[in-house]
Chain A
Amino acid sequence: MNTLVAQRKRNALGTIGRNWVLVFLALEFGYFAVLTRGFASLHIVQMILFYGTEVFLLATAELFVIITGGIDLSVGYVLGFATVISSKLMVVFASRGLSPLGAIVTSILITLCIGLIPGFVNGVLVAKLRVPPFIATFSMLGVCQGVSELLMQGIPAKNLPPLAGTIGNGHFLYIVPGSGISFMQRPDVARGVRVIEIIPNAVVFALIFIAIFAFILTKTRFGQHIYAIGGNIDAASRAGIDVKKHIIGVYMISSFFASLAGIIYVMKYITGKADAGAASLLDAIAAVVIGGASMFGGSGTVWRTILGCLVIATLETGLRMRGTPTFDKYILVGVILIFTVVIERFFPDFKR
């Protein structure tokens, strides 16, 4: 009887331990909700998601690489590179008489293809030429920065099709209380009529891709092999897994997600610049680690990484709304990051 109670207690503790990020997130949200009026609202929650979109994508990118035991320092500048390319292309295509939608879609597709290149090069350097990921991707960071700046020549792209901003800042669903709903298109209503906006398009777009790759990671052979490579690279290659191909694939996924983030950035802010994602690298890595992945590889899930992102995004929005300088964000992210790893050292069985 006593042992049963003890067991239950331990299980409960274990559950909290395993999901401490969730608990932490709830506490964090509660803290800001109590201190800031209007924080606990649909609007703010969507704002957190909206401003966090790029970090969601970059963290997913980083997660794949970190599971294999690598690191991708280039994601921030691959994002910047993608913003420069896609914004330039949109301007060019639109000025050549393509319809705005056509110009946008074509630019996005081309950017996504070009965006695979940095990842491919990173992957080849790491897998075939045995360059440590830290060095290979830092080099790629420099190359992407340089190429983006050269393309930009100091002038961010102007005259993007306004449609880009409309889509990027639009919502998936609009509800006009008492009169109807509409998808993707903001209803024409008189000034002052309340329109409830549900889920920003950028978030929908990002979540679709994140969900697809979460599926790949957990449900497919490819995903399983990535975990195996991170867990024991020798075992993986002796089991007949083509380790090099997988590593190249992982770095390509990473830069694909970074490019997606760049495209979303362009659609949100209607501009593109080389250092658009420079500040997000730390957030992305921190989110993955807060989400419980080990830097040594072999562990981490998309779901928890997203929780890690939310911890950071909530913090940022909360601090901003409280008017305290966002400088504190850096400090707190640093503290939470270290705290996460220390917690896991003390309670190793909390993990998975």
Chain B
Amino acid sequence: MGYIIETRGITKRFGGLTAVDNVSMGVNAGEVVAILGDNGAGKSTLIKMISGVHKPDEGTILLDGKPMKLESPMDALANGIETIYQDLALAENLNVSSNIFLGREKTKRSLGVLNVLDHEYMQKESRSVLDRLEIEIPSLKNTIRTLSGGQRQAVAISRSIYWQAKVLIMDEPTAALGIAEQKKVLDLVKSLKTQGIGIIIISHQMYDVFEVADRIIVMRRGQNVATRMVSETTADEIVGLIVGSETVKR
């Protein structure tokens, strides 16, 4: 079975700087791939190309083995590529279900002519996706402002899942969380995996990576310098690869 999402030799230059240099990688359905690297190694640029924010200068991105052009983040969303940025992109003044449906609100006909928001439907659907992921949020009518960091992360994840993500990209999902909440989010990632979603995680936390990832891709100076199965490597080796002290074998 082929990769659900794949890049072949993609390159991105900003002026004279090559941020991502001829990177090929792929993620299988139900697999968690962690991308590691130092600051400036090109991780963010790589995922921004996959999520449609930047257009690659060279190379192709394939979804389900078919090449595709991502002109904008909306294209990526339409193709089932969901990205959860560090800032989560939630509107804090709106409630949980409004955020899950943000930009894609369900409406119903009222009085035969007007399209009005179908809050009932959105609440019900939100509840069911939260239940499916075993996320506990007391009331969906609470605004995001009243939720904890972990709960917010969970809402952001639920939003992607609800919209049928095939690929989920997570940028530092545990960075701003307390220990207990980090664990919850990692559990959530594991349960997503069992639902057949391909997940790409960018993280600085080595522990997280070893906890949830199946495979690790190490980037340095824009290049993919190593790929390791988690079961076959150690944290020391990975750190060595990131900083460049470990010579690349294989």
Touch between chains A and B, by CB atoms below 8 Å: yes
Is the CB–CB distance between A231 and B93 below 8 Å? yes
Binds B, one of A74-82, A221-229, A270-278: A221-229
Query: B residues within 8 A CB of A227?
Result: 91, 93-94
Query: A residues within 8 A CB of B115?
Result: 220-221
Query: A residues within 8 A CB of B110?
Result: 219
Smallest beta-carbon distance B49→chain A, Å: 16
Q: Using an 8 Å CB-CB cutoff, how does the interface string of A226-237 with B read, 1 for contact, 0 for none?
A: 011011101110
Query: B residues within 8 A CB of A352?
Result: 143
Query: B residues within 8 A CB of A235?
Result: 88-91, 102
Is the CB–CB distance between A232 and B117 below 8 Å? no
Is the CB–CB distance between A232 and B91 below 8 Å? yes
**Among residues 59 to 95 in chain B, which have CB atoms less than 8 Å away from a CB atom of chain A?**
73-74, 77, 85, 87-94
Q: Which of B73, B110, B116 has the most chain A CB within a 10 Å cutoff?
A: B116
Known: A240-B77, A240-B104, A352-B143. A224 touches B93 (CB 8 A): no
Contacting A232 at CB < 8 Å: which of B77, B92, B104? B92
**Among residues 107 to 149 in chain B, which have CB atoms less than 8 Å away from a CB atom of chain A?**
107, 110, 114-117, 143
How far apart are the CA atoms of A239 and B84 in the complex, in Å? 11
Q: Using an 8 Å CB-CB cutoff, how does the interface string of A290-312 with B read, 1 for contact, 0 for none?
A: 00000000110000000000000
Q: Counting CB contacts under 8 A, is B11 at the interface?
A: no
Q: Counting CB contacts under 8 A, is B15 at the interface?
A: no
Contacting A225 at CB < 8 Å: which of B90, B103, B114? B103
Is the CB–CB distance between B73 and A228 below 8 Å? no
Q: Counting CB contacts under 8 A, is B98 at the interface?
A: yes
Contacting B74 at CB < 8 Å: which of A221, A234, A240, A298? A240
Is the CB–CB distance between A298 and B105 below 8 Å? no
Is the CB–CB distance between B92 and A298 below 8 Å? yes
Q: Which of B77, B91, B143 has the most chain A CB within a 10 Å cutoff?
A: B91
Query: A residues within 8 A CB of B143?
Result: 352
Query: A residues within 8 A CB of B105?
Result: 221, 224
Known: A219-B117, A224-B98, A352-B143. A239 touches B89 (CB 8 A): yes
Complex: chain A residue closest to B88, CB-CB: A235
Query: B residues within 8 A CB of A37?
Result: none
Known: A228-B94, A234-B87, A298-B92. A220 touches B104 (CB 8 A): no
Is the CB–CB distance between A228 and B117 below 8 Å? no
How far apart are the CA atoms of A299 and B145 in the complex, in Å? 12
Q: Counting CB contacts under 8 A, is A167 at the interface?
A: no
Complex: chain B residue closest to A232, CB-CB: B91
Is the CB–CB distance between A232 and B90 below 8 Å? yes
Is the CB–CB distance between B89 and A234 below 8 Å? yes
How far apart are the CA atoms of A138 and B2 in the complex, in Å? 59
**Among residues 40 to 67 in chain A, which have CB atoms less than 8 Å away from a CB atom of chain B?**
none
Is the CB–CB distance between B107 and A239 below 8 Å? no
Smallest beta-carbon distance B98→chain A, Å: 6
Query: A residues within 8 A CB of B93?
Result: 227, 230-232, 298-299
Is the CB–CB distance between A221 and B102 below 8 Å? no
How far apart are the CA atoms of A240 and B102 in the complex, in Å? 8
Q: Counting CB contacts under 8 A, is A238 at the interface?
A: yes
How far apart are the CA atoms of A230 and B73 in the complex, in Å? 21
Complex: chain B residue closest to A218, CB-CB: B117
Contacting B103 at CB < 8 Å: which of A220, A234, A239? A239
How far apart are the CA atoms of A221 and B103 in the complex, in Å? 8
Contacting B104 at CB < 8 Å: which of A238, A239, A299? A239
**Among residues 123 to 150 in chain A, which have CB atoms less than 8 Å away from a CB atom of chain B?**
none
How far apart are the CA atoms of A6 and B73 in the complex, in Å? 50
Is the CB–CB distance between B117 and A298 below 8 Å? no
Smallest beta-carbon distance A263→chain B, Å: 25
Is the CB–CB distance between A240 and B103 below 8 Å? yes
Top-7 shortest CB links A-B: A239-B103, A231-B91, A298-B93, A231-B93, A235-B89, A239-B102, A240-B103
Residues of A within 8 A of B (CB): 219-221, 223-225, 227-228, 230-232, 234-236, 238-241, 298-299, 352
Q: List 26 A-B contacts (CB under 8 A).
A: A219-B110, A219-B114, A220-B107, A220-B114, A220-B116, A221-B105, A221-B107, A221-B115, A221-B117, A223-B117, A227-B94, A231-B91, A232-B89, A232-B90, A232-B92, A234-B87, A234-B89, A235-B89, A235-B102, A236-B102, A238-B89, A239-B89, A240-B73, A240-B74, A240-B103, A352-B143
